[in-house]
């Protein structure tokens, strides 16, 4: 019970300086990972309609965009490839092509920014003609264990190209153990494994699917991604990935799942990432565009909330606008 006049919490909120002293720091740029979309060619910089300020870029343009952020101390990049439909097949084989788009882009980025941590997304949905995250065996049923072999190949090809970390996002059972084993037996003992351990079948991925051209052609991803109503399975997934050898866990999306971030945080000593996904980003833009709020204040509040919930690092499209936001 508050006892006036002794207890007056407003004393500590009176000035900006007091508020800063008593509050927690905002996440720094060093805590952010910028998800980027690579395309073929040169001088390619194509804005993604539903994600203002985000572009699909060829490797040269990507380097130009990354340079100032690397100087400011960006935490890292998460690289996705966007490939031509003609390169897609049933098993997503272009995902592990020796000299594929992602593999070449990794080499270019690491040559330009050797000290910047580079993660690659390890999945098949951007490379399969049906758009699912694995190989199918009957109708839209995914063959889990056959997919593990394909994911091992993708991760190895990224590690061989020089990625600092690989991030499997397919939500197949056993994918972390399979990739860890493949990395170890092939001598990639320093490659960090960031698992999309706790990835929900969310309705917030729409803008990303436009960016990465990775929508499933039939069915949905509910048979492998987590059900939004099941926080217990979310915890089991993160626990199992830790046992299988993940170095970093992840909750995706972030803003609608702050409770899950907190629970995973309490249940592991591993570093925890949260993916502030495309729909969260687009939502804030929509609100600001409608005159309903200040874009940068909304972004600041969103990022602070994700950190407060317990994320150590945030994958976020706001990373390339850090200076304007904070
Ligand atoms: Zn996928």
pLDDT, tens digit (0-9, with 9 covering 90-100), for 219-272: 889 989 999 999 999 999 999 999 999 999 999 999 999 999 999 999 999 999
In a domain, 123, yes or no: yes
b/e 137-167 (16+ beta carbons within 10 angstroms → b): eeeeebbbeebbebbbbbbbbbbbbbbbbbb
What's the whole-model pTM score?
0.96
| DSSP character at residue 8 | -
Q: Tell me, in angstroms, the distance from the centre of ligand 1 to residue 176's CA.
A: 15
Q: What is the percent of the chain with per-residue pLDDT over 70, rounded to a whole number?
A: 100
Q: What is the percent of the chain with per-residue pLDDT over 90, rounded to a whole number?
A: 91
Q: Tell me, in angstroms, the distance from the centre of ligand 1 to residue 23's CA.
A: 38
pLDDT tier at 307, thresholds 50, 70, 90: very high
Counted residue by residue, the chain has a size of: 326
Distance CA 131, CA 92 (A): 9
Task: Please give the average per-residue pLDDT across 54-69, as a whole number.
Answer: 98
Pick the catalytic residue from 199, 222, 239, 263.
199
In a domain, 15, yes or no: no
Q: Tell me, in angstroms, the distance from the centre of ligand 1 to residue 64's CA.
A: 28
In the prediction, which pLDDT does 186 show?
Answer: 98
In a domain, 20, yes or no: no
pLDDT tier at 1, thresholds 50, 70, 90: low
pLDDT at 139 over 80: no
In the prediction, which pLDDT does 5 show?
Answer: 86
As residues whose CB is below 5 A from the ion ligand 1, the structure lists 123, 125, 133
Tokens of 10: 């407003």
DSSP H or E stretch at residue 316: strand 313-316
Distance CA 209, CA 214 (A): 5
Is 252 in the active site? yes
The predicted-structure confidence for 188-226, as pLDDT tens digits, reads as follows 999 999 999 999 999 999 988 888 877 888 888 998 999
DSSP H or E stretch at residue 167: strand 165-168
pLDDT at 94 over 80: yes
Q: Tell me, in angstroms, the distance from the centre of ligand 1 to residue 192's CA.
A: 19
In a domain, 3, yes or no: no
Quote the domain boundaries for residue 108. Answer: 27-325
Is 199 in the active site? yes
Pairing mode of beta strands 55-57, 136-138: unpaired
In a domain, 289, yes or no: yes
In a domain, 14, yes or no: no
Tokens of 215: 């929508």
> Which CATH number does the domain housing residue 304 bear?
3.20.20.70
Q: Tell me, in angstroms, the distance from the centre of ligand 1 to residue 316's CA.
A: 18
Q: How many domains does the chain have?
A: 1
In a domain, 79, yes or no: yes
139 HSE (CA, 13 A, CB side): 3
Residues with Cβ within 8 Å of 135's Cβ and at least 6 positions away in sequence, in order, are 90, 91, 92, 124, 128, 142, 143, 146, 147, 150
Q: Tell me, in angstroms, the distance from the centre of ligand 1 to residue 126's CA.
A: 7
Question: Which backbone phi and psi does 290 adopt, to 5 degrees?
Answer: -80, 0
Single out the residue of 215, 176, 172, 209 nearest to residue 194, CA to CA: 176
Distance CA 166, CA 179 (A): 9
Distance CA 68, CA 230 (A): 41
Task: Please give the average per-residue pLDDT across 88-115, as a whole number.
Answer: 97
Tokens of 249: 């866990």
pLDDT at 2 over 80: no
pLDDT at 162 over 70: yes
In the prediction, which pLDDT does 4 show?
Answer: 87
Task: Please give the average per-residue pLDDT across 107-125, as a whole number.
Answer: 98
Pick the catalytic residue from 88, 153, 252, 263.
252
> What's the mean per-residue pLDDT of the chain?
95
- Locate the DSSP E strands across 196-321: 198-199, 249-252, 272-276, 313-316
In a domain, 4, yes or no: no
Pairing mode of beta strands 198-199, 249-252: parallel
């Amino acid at each position: 019970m508050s006892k006036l006049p002794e207890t007056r919490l407003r004393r500590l909120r009176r000035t900006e300086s007091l508020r800063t002293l008593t509050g927690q720091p905002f996440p720094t740029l060093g805590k952010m990972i910028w998800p980027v979309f690579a395309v073929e060619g040169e001088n390619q910089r194509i804005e993604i309609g539903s994600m203002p300020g985000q572009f699909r870029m060829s490797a040269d343009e990507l380097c130009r965009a990354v340079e100032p952020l690397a100087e400011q101390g960006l935490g890292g990049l998460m690289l996705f490839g966007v490939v031509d439909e003609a390169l897609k097949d049933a098993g997503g084989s272009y995902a592990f092509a020796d000299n594929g788009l992602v593999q070449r882009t990794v080499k270019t980025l690491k040559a330009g920014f050797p000290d910047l941590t580079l993660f690659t997304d390890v999945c098949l949905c951007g490379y399969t003609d049906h758009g699912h995250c694995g190989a199918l065996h009957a109708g839209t049923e995914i063959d889990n264990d056959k997919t593990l072999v394909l994911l091992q190949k993708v991760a190895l090809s990224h590690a061989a190209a020089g990625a600092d970390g690989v991030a499997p996002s397919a939500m197949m059972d056993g994918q972390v153990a399979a990739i860890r084993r493949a990395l170890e037996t092939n001598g990639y003992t320093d490659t960090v494994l960031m698992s999309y351990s706790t990835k929900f079948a969310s309705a917030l991925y729409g803008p990303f699917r436009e960016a990465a051209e990775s929508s499933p052609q039939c069915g949905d991803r509910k048979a492998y991604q987590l059900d939004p109503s099941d926080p217990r399975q979310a915890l089991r997934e993160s626990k199992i990935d830790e046992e299988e050898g993940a170095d970093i866990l992840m909750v995706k999306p972030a803003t609608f799942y702050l409770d899950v971030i907190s629970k995973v945080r309490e249940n592991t000593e591993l570093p925890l990432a949260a993916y502030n996904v495309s729909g969260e980003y687009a939502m804030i833009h929509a609100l600001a565009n409608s005159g309903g709020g200040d874009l940068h204040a909304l972004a600041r509040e969103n990022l602070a909330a994700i950190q407060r919930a317990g994320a150590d690092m945030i994958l976020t499209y706001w990373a390339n606008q850090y200076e304007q936001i904070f």
